[in-house]
Amino acid sequence: MDILDIIKPENQVFCKTKLMTDTALSYCPGCGHGTAHNLTMEVIDEMGIVEDTIGVAPVGCSVLAYDFMNIDMTQAAHGRAPAVATGIIRTWPEKYVFTYQGDGDLAAIGTAETIHACNRGENIVIIFINNGIYGMTGGQMAPTTLEGMHTSTSPYGREIKNMGSPLKITELIANLPGVYYVTRQSVHTHKHVRKAKKAIRTAFENTRLKKGLSFVEIVSNCNSGWKMTPNEANIWMEENMFSYFPLGDIKVDGKLK
Amino acid sequence: MSELKLMKGNEALAEAAIRAGVDAYFGYPITPQSEVIEYLMTERPELRTGMVVLQAESEVAAINMVYGAASTGKKVMTSSSSPGISLKQEGISYMAGAELPAVIVNVVRGGPGLGTIQPSQADYFQSVKGGGHGDYKLYVLAPASVQEMSDFVTDAFDIAFKYRAPVLILSDGLIGQMMEKVVLKDQVERISDKDLIKMNGYWATTGKKDRERNIITSLDLQSEKMEARVHRLQKKYVKMELEDLRYETIDCEDADYLIVAYGSSARISQKAVELARKKGIKVGLLRPITLFPFPKKQLFDLANQVKGILSVELNAGQMVEDVKLAVEHKVPVEHFGRTGGIIHTPEEVLEALEQKIINHGHFRHHKTRESSIL
């Protein structure tokens, strides 16, 4: 059979996400950010809402998200994305506004902005990438760094007595009445990617229905920061991260699971 | 119809914001400016014009809400007082860097630290020398009356959108709290989303439709690009100096001595000028209305005419540095000001002028003559 008989649109299984730019990703090979970007852009494309979508980029590895996401985006100060998104959704209530934030941004420096945007039930989507480390600044301890985990600022492992416990911000905000949908996903296998995409779609559909705040945590890896190969990092994540940050829905249709 | 009312400065500013067609206000309570958000919440501007008013969880959140709304081309503002303005500096720096139009109001109280809730002008340095991090300046308007608290809202937004830059209204606890009559402007309709996209769609993040995507950021990791951004900002500041400097001169034509003062100090100094003239001392007043741009040339020229200059400020001596720079040592320049929330009287100002400039000037002049004889 001639190869050209196979390469036909109707046979196409995968293609480049339409709303991703051609700019080469700045993320390390094996990092989950690229997949999370793809899924978000696919959902926006499939829902046909690009004309009404405004994204908010954080400070951290995904500070340059706007280089890769081919939509209107505003880059926020460290931790302030939920406040920036509040300013946008309050003045454009018919738009789709989402923030894309890492664990240091959302759960350390931006804790106040996160909790209060959630508590007000802003009609936005928060996509939260939790890899338990500050990737961009070179692997320092994050609020979600696990007990005993080695980072450049916890070189002998995170000590609970001294450094506190890893913060389950997702469970914390799920208890706030303004929050409509909370789920924890991952993007390290095809099965998980499909589930994560479904969750992101649900979140944006909630915005469409003006249900309030939707929060999608994606537990991800940081093979560079964790000093592992991508495959080792994924195995380590399954074995260690998922027991502390269990995957699944936490709050659906405004009701805690 | 324009309307004559008796109002507090803070209230006049809030009412002016509604009438100017402002889209949103985000704030956080702090004395002595809480009347701004209280007035807005009471007036229900969402029913009058559709204006959004929201009490944020902190000054930090409020300025970032402003950043968000401003990035979509909306007319948006916040207000606070000194400690709160310190907290907003990060957001202000980001807005300057990302080239966003917005209006920030500082009803200054005494500092440093928690300081006092009484009036002060101790935030001059913070306002005109940057405040936040990086190479930027704010266009700074300094109202000296309740009328100007009202009028400057429109003026500030005109400048903010002309230059796509944050603008600061630098008031103080005295102007904010005192009541005066004020002529309020007519209601201006808020700009519709459709018109906003037509006007600002070339840069604002309103949703990508029939164009390339818009990005609002202050980040440029390539040095050459970042330097180009800094140069672009500096060009704006040069243009502000050329086109939008504002100041007022009172009794300067025949003046032998000059007082430089802004805001509430200018009001007090105006009375001091009257008292001096009654005593036969020819004193004039230069009131910078914009603190950046600063009336450098006007001061330089006046220094050819007067024998000495007193910079009167409710602080330990801040604007006096800029006056000295402008005058280039042609005549003596001294500072007078009370701090800690104490407001100087016109008599104190006149006394300071006599002691620090007039008499001291004689003494100095005399000494110079002596030494030249020797």
Whole-number average pLDDT of chain A: 96
Range of the domain at A192: 26-256
Residue A16 covered by a domain: no
Asked if the peptide bond before residue B119 counts as cis, ω within 30 degrees of 0, the response is no
Q: What is the mean pLDDT of residues B80-86?
A: 98
Q: Are residues B213 and B255 in the same domain?
A: no
CATH assignment of the domain containing B311: 3.40.50.920
| pLDDT tens-digit map of B204-229 | 999 999 999 999 999 999 999 999 99
Q: pLDDT-derived band of residue B367, with 50, 70 and 90 as boundaries?
A: very low
Q: Are residues B233 and B261 in the same domain?
A: no
Nearest to B291 by CA among B151, B142, B106: B142
DSSP category for residue A48 = T
Q: Are residues B116 and B223 in the same domain?
A: yes
Q: Does B58 touch chain A (CB under 8 A)?
A: yes
Q: What is the total count of domains within chain B?
A: 2
Q: Are residues B213 and B258 in the same domain?
A: no
What's the confidence (pLDDT) of residue B366?
Answer: 46
Q: Are residues B93 and B218 in the same domain?
A: yes
What's the confidence (pLDDT) of residue B374?
Answer: 37
Residues 147-166 of A with CB under 8 A from B: none
What's the confidence (pLDDT) of residue B364?
Answer: 52
- The rounded Cα B138 to chain-centroid distance in angstroms is 9
Report CB contact under 8 Å: B67, A84.
Answer: yes
Q: Are residues B176 and B270 in the same domain?
A: no
Q: Are residues B215 and B267 in the same domain?
A: no
Residue A249 covered by a domain: yes
Q: Give the separation between CA B65 and CA A83, rounded to whole angstroms.
A: 5
Q: pLDDT-derived band of residue A9, with 50, 70 and 90 as boundaries?
A: confident
Residue A57 covered by a domain: yes
Report CB contact under 8 Å: A116, B90.
Answer: no
Q: 3-class SS at B334?
A: strand
DSSP category for residue B192 = P
What's the confidence (pLDDT) of residue A104?
Answer: 97
What's the confidence (pLDDT) of residue B373?
Answer: 38
- Residue B101 near residue B70 (C-beta atoms within 8 A): yes
Q: Are residues B209 and B129 in the same domain?
A: yes
| pLDDT tens-digit map of B19-52 | 999 999 999 999 999 999 999 999 999 999 999 9
What's the confidence (pLDDT) of residue B361?
Answer: 54
Asked if residue A13 has pLDDT above 90, the reply is: no
Residue A10 covered by a domain: no
Whole-number average pLDDT of chain B: 95
Q: Are residues B237 and B278 in the same domain?
A: no
| pLDDT tens-digit map of A108-155 | 999 999 999 999 999 999 999 999 999 999 999 999 999 999 999 999
Residue A4 covered by a domain: no
Range of the domain at B226: 3-243
Q: Are residues B308 and B235 in the same domain?
A: no
Q: What is the total count of domains within chain A?
A: 1
CATH assignment of the domain containing A131: 3.40.50.970
Q: Is the pTM of this model over 0.90?
A: yes
CATH assignment of the domain containing B129: 3.40.50.970
Asked if residue A249 has pLDDT above 90, the reply is: yes
Q: Are residues B305 and B349 in the same domain?
A: yes
What's the confidence (pLDDT) of residue B252?
Answer: 98
- Residue B102 near residue B74 (C-beta atoms within 8 A): no
Last residue of a domain, one of B243, B276, B291: B243
Extract the runs of DSSP E, i.e. beta strands, from B62-208: 76-80, 102-108, 139-141, 166-172, 179-184
Residues 64-103 of B with CB under 8 A from A: 64-72, 74, 76, 90-91, 94, 98
Q: Are residues B86 and B225 in the same domain?
A: yes
Q: pLDDT-derived band of residue A8, with 50, 70 and 90 as boundaries?
A: confident
Q: pLDDT-derived band of residue B372, with 50, 70 and 90 as boundaries?
A: very low
| pLDDT tens-digit map of A186-242 | 999 999 999 999 999 999 999 999 999 999 999 999 999 999 999 999 999 999 999
Q: pLDDT-derived band of residue A7, with 50, 70 and 90 as boundaries?
A: confident
DSSP category for residue B31 = T
Q: Give the separation between CA B110 and CA A86, rounded to whole angstroms.
A: 32
Q: Give the separation between CA A105 and CA A111, rounded to whole angstroms.
A: 8
DSSP string, A98-157: EEEEEHHIIIIITHHHHHHHHHTT-S-EEEEEE-SEETTTTSEE-TTPPTT--BTTBTT-
Q: Give the separation between CA B281 and CA B323, rounded to whole angstroms.
A: 22
| pLDDT tens-digit map of B106-129 | 999 999 999 999 999 999 999 999
Which chain B residues touch A52 with a CB distance below 8 Å? 207
Counting one residue from chain A and one from chain B, the pairs whose CB atoms sit within 8 A come to: 124
Q: pLDDT-derived band of residue A164, with 50, 70 and 90 as boundaries?
A: very high
Residue A198 covered by a domain: yes
* Tokens matching residue B351: 């006394």
Q: Give the separation between CA A125 and CA A99, rounded to whole angstroms.
A: 6
Residue A32 covered by a domain: yes
Residue A1 covered by a domain: no
